[in-house]
Structure 1
């Protein structure tokens, strides 16, 4: 799970400019040379290949950072469960899926395993009548070179958009920080065959928190099309949404040029009030209908009903935030009969934790079952 901070994030000082370079799509990645292809022969049919790179626009709604499931004992990637879970979410009415996010344990996977998860998800959606559903793929890395490689591999596996964290390991050597961050995202966006979504999650990058100024500036790049704000700062969300909306050439609420998403379900309607377009939230793995319905009610003007549902969603999300990916998987296992464990070195939950987390999700699951 991607927890956000309750305190407002600092404004920062990221104000440097950048040069826009024409985008050139990459058809096949030369960086893949020597990498074992994770795609099976049964996957590479002509019809399936043609479905990989359809145009799938980002529209407002609920996006789910899916889980990566592993076989018990061996910890090998469990493609059957990955596929079934993706189809369950799609049938629940979510807008899109994201692989290789924080909930997807991307940091525990090899390059080939990342491609396997994305290609499995794409094939499962296509085979179940959801070929129109976009897939966002986590592609952040510490070097510009590897981040671009991840973007190319994501495209090859059927991904439509790349979710990119800023680099942070050598952040103390960034001089100035704004220039380094601007150059990084610009270089990645210039080279990536798929559009970029900025991922602002200070908790995952040593506290590095992108300001609204730098996000708005990066949004000028034609291959940077959105942002996920897991910082929980609705003021920042409002500034980014307002600035990008006002700058839009053709403002269409149903098809915005720059998508602004809250990174947790516990401030879904707050994000909508601030001008956001929806959420990309791990809680939707457990309760996709509840997350979707909360946003639908608000958009229909049924604000009191939306608020009542948001209260249940927020309480359930607090359980998810406290337990992280271990707790979300435990909730899936307790209430839906699948989920298993995270890959080591993440610990297995104790019996007491399993009981606590199950109870923490109870009201949310009851709501989900009623929808």
Structure 2
């Protein structure tokens, strides 16, 4: 069974001027990532605006990414929905389509008990033979997967890891301490990629990899090569971009950066608005040093 590891971009979903999926742009992004030698692709996550997509659109995005990748890298697809039955049905469909692994976010809107969350993930895991990554992002869902809960779920044969986007390094450490070493712990907060690797983690699903996938990948590669100081230099390069995310509602800043670079990300889907002219001007100033220093071309 697939063992998640390395740097996996948390892909945006490009839209055209009519807010429809820009299929040719999506294919372009897949090719760009593969050319950057990333270790997998993750579509239909938070930065992919899965929460605004219809079921048909989700399936189409997954279909395009799987088709364009042509088996060259593992494809992780977000299958999380609010309801357990809907999530299980989507998981089964994605398996039929050829996904390599699934990411299942915690249910959202209501606050659930840990036992309810365990029941949700166990039921979904029974609907598919694919490896499953738990997705913990409490700031967005209002639900936290506690380390003890993750340990319990790690005993399910096809639950193979977690994307932890809690922003809490202590939470990551507790998961690493309580779970088997083979259980993949991936940073979902880009500032914690190197610390997670140093603590025994396995990589990251990274939003900033949309912009400079080679830089983010180098954090992992340099760490594996026994060059932690150089890996730290690469890690530091992410800080300015991550700080700029506060200029707009997710993922408006990320999309605007890509548009500025000539990559057809389009606007975020409503109700998220594109950046204001003032914010765009600030973002250009932020991105200037990245261009002048050759970090991005």
User: TM-score when scaled to structure 2?
Assistant: 0.93
Say whether the 8 Å CA contact 2:148–2:178 is kept in structure 1: no
Query: Matched residues in 2 for 1:220 and 1:275: separation?
Result: 19
Tell me what 1:226 maps to.
Answer: 161
| Alpha-carbon separation, structure 2, partners of 1:201 and 1:363 | 31
Query: Are residue 167 (structure 1) and residue 123 (structure 2) matched?
Result: no
1:292 equivalent to 2:194? Answer: no
Structure 2, gaps ≥5 residues long = none
Q: Does 1:241 align with 2:176?
A: yes
| C-alpha displacement of 1:322 | 5.0
Calculate the TM-score normalised by the size of structure 1: 0.75
Residue 202 to residue 321, structure 1, CA distance change in 2 (3 Å): farther
Answer yes or no: is the 8 Å Cα contact 2:166–2:189 preserved in 1.
no
- Cα RMSD, aligned residues only: 1.8
| 2:25 matches 1:81 | yes
Give the unaligned 5+ runs of structure 1.
1-54, 247-256
Match of 1:110 among 42, 54, 64: 54
How far is 1:367 from its partner? 4.7
How many Å separate the matches in 2 of 1:68 and 1:95? 19
Deviation at 1:268, TM superposition (A): 1.2
The number of residues matched between the two structures is: 295
Q: Displacement, 1:151?
A: 0.6
Larger radius of gyration: 1
CA distance in 2, matches of 1:135, 1:261: 15
Instruction: Find runs of 4+ consecutive structure 1 residues off by over 6 angstroms.
Output: none
Report if aligned partners of 1:237, 1:260 keep a CA contact under 8 Å in 2.
Answer: yes
Change (3 A) 1:59 1:146: closer
Superposed CA offset, 1:198-232 (max 9, x none) = 100011112x2211111111101001011001012
Structure 1 residue aligned with 2:264: 338
Change (3 A) 1:337 1:180: closer
**Which of 267, 271, 274 pairs up with 1:348?**
274
Is the contact between residue 151 and residue 193 of structure 1 (CA under 8 Å) also seen in structure 2? no
Residue in structure 1 matched with residue 207 of structure 2 by the alignment: 282
CA contact (8 A) 2:129 2:158 kept: no
Quote the Cα distance in structure 2 between the aligned partners of 1:103 and 1:195.
Answer: 21
Please say if 1:141 is aligned against 2:77: no
Q: What does residue range 62-77 of structure 1 map to in structure 2 within 5 Å?
A: 62-72=7-17, 74-77=18-21
* Residue 305 of structure 1: aligned partner: 230
Corresponding position: 1:270 with 2:195: yes
Report how far residue 155 of structure 1 moved. 1.7
Q: Determine the structure 2 residue equivalent to 1:368.
A: 295
Aligned partners of 2:240, 2:192: CA distance in 1, in Å?
11
- C-alpha offsets along residues 87-112 of structure 1, whole Å, 9 cap, x if unaligned? 10111011011111011111111111
Listed one character per residue, the Cα deviations across residues 293-350 of structure 1 (whole Å, up to 9, x for unaligned) are 1222222222222222211212222223654211000000112342210111211211
